[in-house]
Chains A and B, each alone.
Chain A
Amino acid sequence: MGNKDLYRHDVIVVGGGLAGLRAAVEACDRGADTAVLSKVYPLRSHSVAAQGGINAALGNSPAAKDDNWEKHAFDTIKGSVYLADQDAVEILCREAPGAVFELEHWGTVFSRDDHGRLAQRPFGGADVPRTCYAADRTGHNLLNTLFEQAASRGIRFYNEFFVTSLVVDEETCRGCIALDILSGNLHGFSSKSLVLATGGYGMIYDHSTNSLINTADGMALAYSAGAKLKDMEFVQFHPTTLSGSNILISEGARGEGAYLVNSEGDRFMAKYAPQAEELAPRDIVARSIMKEIQAGLGFDGGCVHLDLRHLGAEKIRERLPGIRQIAMDFADLDPVEQPIPVQPGQHYSMGGIDVSPDGETGIRGLFAVGECACISVHGANRLGGNSLLDTLVFGRRVGDKAFNESHDEAAPVVEAALNREIKRLDELFSSRGESFASLMREMKKTMFESFGIFRDENNMQEGLGSLNELGKKFEGAAVNSARKIFCQSLVRTLELGFMLDIAGAVALSALWRKESRGSHYRTDWPDRDDDRYLKHTLISKTDGQKPAIEYSPVKLGLFPVKEDGY
């Protein structure tokens, strides 16, 4: 399947979502010859599905007149259960207004207040209305704007190129090997620096809100190349996903005032978060919903109701048209007239590739940003509206760093790696064995059952055993398709390899942390334990490919560590 064409660029960005495009725009503006490799057309990236909004302390809302970056930082750190690094949070929140205004200046159509300024809505875990939005299509509007900006700058796009491995030599990233999905050919890419911006790993779980393309690619590429992964046990479950299909129903709905109701008709959140109620952070709301369901107070199909009806038809049509459409298209009901059946679903990875606030991975020339990275600004639980912000603020910084810290090319090393990769993939084609589908289903089920919202030692050990079995079976996996043009069974087999690797990292990290914090809730260790676990989990592959766990301290300094409470 070989093709010896070697492409060369100063900066290569892998991933065409918000983080990747923002990094690419910055590198390009600095003067780098910049390329974006994306396994889909950039506009199909998962950023497009983000709904509710993006946080910035603008103080536009009358209820938020004296809002400032410190308050935003405090809410973010409290929401993170003090696991976020406070220096990184300071950058996130200080630079937030500038990042939002920049996209507005570039053309993003935002919802407006009566003065024509950016409107801001309340969101979970935030003290005041701080979330800017474009109805409930914020990610779509932002991604279109960034794509327009990137495309107009002459950035080179390699659409539907799937990166199969990184080329690392002398502790320096020299580029990558990528499959041109349309032709079926493999190509080498030589770069002076490479930025991973591939998003999350939602597909390792059953019941995920994520796009089907979110398969842990960048995290696994970096992990295999020797980079460390950080805080992988922290998996966000979004409280409100459409029952059955698990399509996201934005937190914006609760921000606009929607109620969560159990089968007795009770608004139950006051029991669990007396002050914040429906607008408590996501980890708390997700667990509360599960407790209601486990107490027999759910509806058929294991769900509760999200009731918007009291908001009135006009507000629903104006502020939440996208989720109304989703309810009509995918649940056959109109939320103006009926409540929406919702259940928690996997949504976001707080953990990821361990990086500095400039995206450095510890491997020279290799950077990471966005959901695949862990800086960390989200700690044990991310607040709604902070992930879009993360992509823009740190996308810019990492694009800048990738330009400044570039090193010499080493094309011969990339060529040699290409030859090895051609041989490896040819073997996948020629062998006959189990195909990806059954192994993938088993992995998803294992992760949801053993590493879901509630966790305990026995269940997790059993899950880890299943993952190890799946890993062995995967060694005999085969593509089982002779057609190399647009060969999805090849792509999906490689994706499964990435996912199994990362599922293992989530499992081992979750077993290591014997406490409950944010999204990581252990029924056998139900309390937070700052003495032993106010620290980051790091996992990396040692020389023998066996994962090893270590830890690093949390950077404090802005706000003292306090008890939980919402």
Chain B
Amino acid sequence: MIIRIHRGKGGKYDDFDIEAAEGMTVLDLLFYIQENVDPSLAFRYSCRGAACGSCAVLANGLPVLACKTPLSKLTKPAENGQVFLPVSAEIPGGGILLEPAPYLPVIRDLVVDWEPFFEKYRKLEPVLKAGGETPEKEYIVGHDESREMEKYTNCILCALCWSACPIVAGVEGYPGPAALAKLFRFYLDPRESGDIDRLSIADNESGWWACDFYTNCKKVCPKGVPPNVAIGRARKLLKDKEEGK
């Protein structure tokens, strides 16, 4: 099987002819190449169990975590709901094209600079701003409130949604789906005052209102987080407030 991998900072690709083992994931393949064929290959990894968010890549146009994506998934016909992004090289027939995740500066090979992603995340002040007095023991929080937050706290900040979002590509200053979902999670938190001002930091043309609901974010999320739902709910809350509801 021909594996075509992006090399350097842009535009160059190397081909590797690899006999893929049964059940091999994209991450297994990258390690195989680095350890046996080309020690200079660069890619990110950590937990290899889809928990840490290190290994986002574009594989045959699919934005995926390398660790949880078997090669067999890439050579199968497309499934319903899969998000394919434009690729910059030919996908070898029956083979695999691996590229860095889009919309972040490339450092080398499959490694991108995460700073623009995290910079936007930091700007939304993602930290609990508890209102009122701190209790002696735990705050009392209901099952339902807890579950509602969990939908968004499951985010692993892998930036796959960022790479799959047409708005990130087109709107300067857009925080991206993950950062907005994180902001909404803090708005939901009953330990905060519940003030809608929490949402106002992104109440502008390039914030909540920039989303066009492609819902690529939810489709590519390896953890099932729905940033599109958070964005829709935030917009309704802000609109209701403006209309004095």
Binding site for B on A (CB under 8 A): 40-41, 43-46, 48-49, 58, 97, 100-101, 104-107, 109-112, 114-118, 134-135, 137, 140-141, 144-145, 148-149, 151-152, 182, 211-213, 244-245, 247-248, 322, 325-326, 329-330, 435, 437, 479-483, 485-489
Tell me the minimal C-beta distance from A218 to chain B in angstroms.
16
Q: A104-B139, A485-B107, A486-B42 are in contact. Are A437 and B36 (CB under 8 A)?
A: yes
Tell me the minimal C-beta distance from B27 to chain A in angstroms.
9
Tell me the minimal C-beta distance from A527 to chain B in angstroms.
37
Binds A, one of B44-52, B91-99, B201-209: B44-52
Bound together, the chains give a CA A486 to CA B42 distance in angstroms of 7
Tell me the minimal C-beta distance from A43 to chain B in angstroms.
6
Known: A109-B189, A116-B141, A247-B49. 20 other contacts (CB 8 A): A44-B53, A46-B46, A107-B127, A107-B128, A109-B149, A112-B146, A116-B142, A116-B143, A134-B150, A137-B51, A140-B51, A140-B153, A140-B154, A148-B127, A245-B48, A248-B49, A480-B40, A483-B108, A485-B107, A489-B34
Bound together, the chains give a CA A404 to CA B111 distance in angstroms of 40
Bound together, the chains give a CA A140 to CA B47 distance in angstroms of 12
Does B125 belong to the interface (CB within 8 Å)? Answer: yes
Bound together, the chains give a CA A141 to CA B150 distance in angstroms of 9
Q: A49-B51, A330-B49, A435-B39 are in contact. Are A148 and B128 (CB under 8 A)?
A: yes
Residues of B with C-beta under 8 A to A109: 146, 149-150, 153, 189
Residue of A nearest to B137 (CB): A101
Residues of A with C-beta under 8 A to B126: 148
Q: Are B48 and A247 in contact (CB under 8 A)?
A: yes
Q: Give B27-85 interface residues, CB cut-off 8 Å to A.
A: 34-36, 39-43, 45-54, 68
Residue of B nearest to A132 (CB): B138
Tell me the minimal C-beta distance from A128 to chain B in angstroms.
18
Residues of B with C-beta under 8 A to A482: 40
Does B168 belong to the interface (CB within 8 Å)? Answer: no
Tell me the minimal C-beta distance from B44 to chain A in angstroms.
8
A selection of 29 A-B contacts at a CB cut-off of 8 Å is A43-B52, A43-B157, A44-B53, A46-B47, A105-B134, A107-B130, A109-B149, A109-B150, A110-B146, A114-B143, A137-B154, A144-B153, A211-B47, A247-B48, A325-B50, A326-B49, A329-B50, A329-B68, A330-B50, A330-B68, A437-B34, A437-B35, A481-B40, A482-B40, A486-B108, A486-B111, A487-B42, A488-B34, A489-B40
Tell me the minimal C-beta distance from B100 to chain A in angstroms.
12
Tell me the minimal C-beta distance from B62 to chain A in angstroms.
15
Q: A140-B156, A488-B42 are in contact. Are A211 and B48 (CB under 8 A)?
A: yes
Bound together, the chains give a CA A105 to CA B111 distance in angstroms of 36
Residues of B with C-beta under 8 A to A487: 40, 42
Bound together, the chains give a CA A111 to CA B150 distance in angstroms of 9
Tell me the minimal C-beta distance from A215 to chain B in angstroms.
11
Q: Are B36 and A112 in contact (CB under 8 A)?
A: no
Bound together, the chains give a CA A152 to CA B123 distance in angstroms of 10
Residues of A with C-beta under 8 A to B46: 40, 44-46, 211-213
Residues of A with C-beta under 8 A to B34: 437, 488-489
Tell me the minimal C-beta distance from A244 to chain B in angstroms.
8
Residues of B with C-beta under 8 A to A107: 127-128, 130, 186, 189, 191
Tell me the minimal C-beta distance from A67 to chain B in angstroms.
14
The total of interchain contacts (Cβ-Cβ below 8 angstroms) comes to 151
Which of A107, A115, A140, A145 has most chain B Cβ within 10 Å? A107
Number of interface residues of B (CB under 8 A): 53
Does B236 belong to the interface (CB within 8 Å)? Answer: no
Bound together, the chains give a CA A117 to CA B138 distance in angstroms of 7
Choose from A105, A326, A488 the contact partner of B50 (Cβ within 8 Å).
A326
Bound together, the chains give a CA A41 to CA B36 distance in angstroms of 27
Residue of B nearest to A322 (CB): B51
Residues of A with C-beta under 8 A to B154: 137, 140
Residues of B with C-beta under 8 A to A134: 150, 153
Residues of A with C-beta under 8 A to B118: 41
Q: Are B51 and A149 in contact (CB under 8 A)?
A: no
Q: A141-B153, A485-B107 are in contact. Are A105 and B139 (CB under 8 A)?
A: yes
Residues of A with C-beta under 8 A to B137: 58, 97, 101, 117
The 5 closest A-B pairs by CB, nearest first: A107-B128, A437-B35, A116-B140, A481-B40, A489-B39
B83-125 to A contact mask, C-beta < 8 Å, 1/0: 0000000000000000000000001110101100010001001
Residues of B with C-beta under 8 A to A58: 137
Q: Are A479 and B153 in contact (CB under 8 A)?
A: no
Q: Are A106 and B146 in contact (CB under 8 A)?
A: no
Residues of B with C-beta under 8 A to A135: 150
Residues of A with C-beta under 8 A to B149: 109
Bound together, the chains give a CA A48 to CA B52 distance in angstroms of 6
Residue of A nearest to B142 (CB): A116
Residues of A with C-beta under 8 A to B47: 44, 46, 48-49, 211-212
Q: Are B51 and A117 in contact (CB under 8 A)?
A: no
Tell me the minimal C-beta distance from A379 to chain B in angstroms.
27
Residues of A with C-beta under 8 A to B50: 325-326, 329-330
Residues of A with C-beta under 8 A to B35: 435, 437
Residues of B with C-beta under 8 A to A49: 47, 49, 51-52
Q: Are B130 and A105 in contact (CB under 8 A)?
A: yes
Bound together, the chains give a CA A287 to CA B68 distance in angstroms of 30
Q: Are B143 and A106 in contact (CB under 8 A)?
A: no
Q: Are A479 and B39 in contact (CB under 8 A)?
A: yes
Residue of A nearest to B149 (CB): A109
Residues of A with C-beta under 8 A to B51: 48-49, 137, 140, 322
Tell me the minimal C-beta distance from A28 to chain B in angstroms.
14
Residue of B nearest to A248 (CB): B49
Which of B23, B48, B118, B138 has most chain A Cβ within 10 Å? B138
Tell me the minimal C-beta distance from A56 to chain B in angstroms.
10
Q: Are B48 and A111 in contact (CB under 8 A)?
A: no
Residues of B with C-beta under 8 A to A212: 45-48
Residues of A with C-beta under 8 A to B156: 43, 48, 140
B135-166 to A contact mask, C-beta < 8 Å, 1/0: 10111111100100110011011000000000
Q: Are B140 and A117 in contact (CB under 8 A)?
A: yes
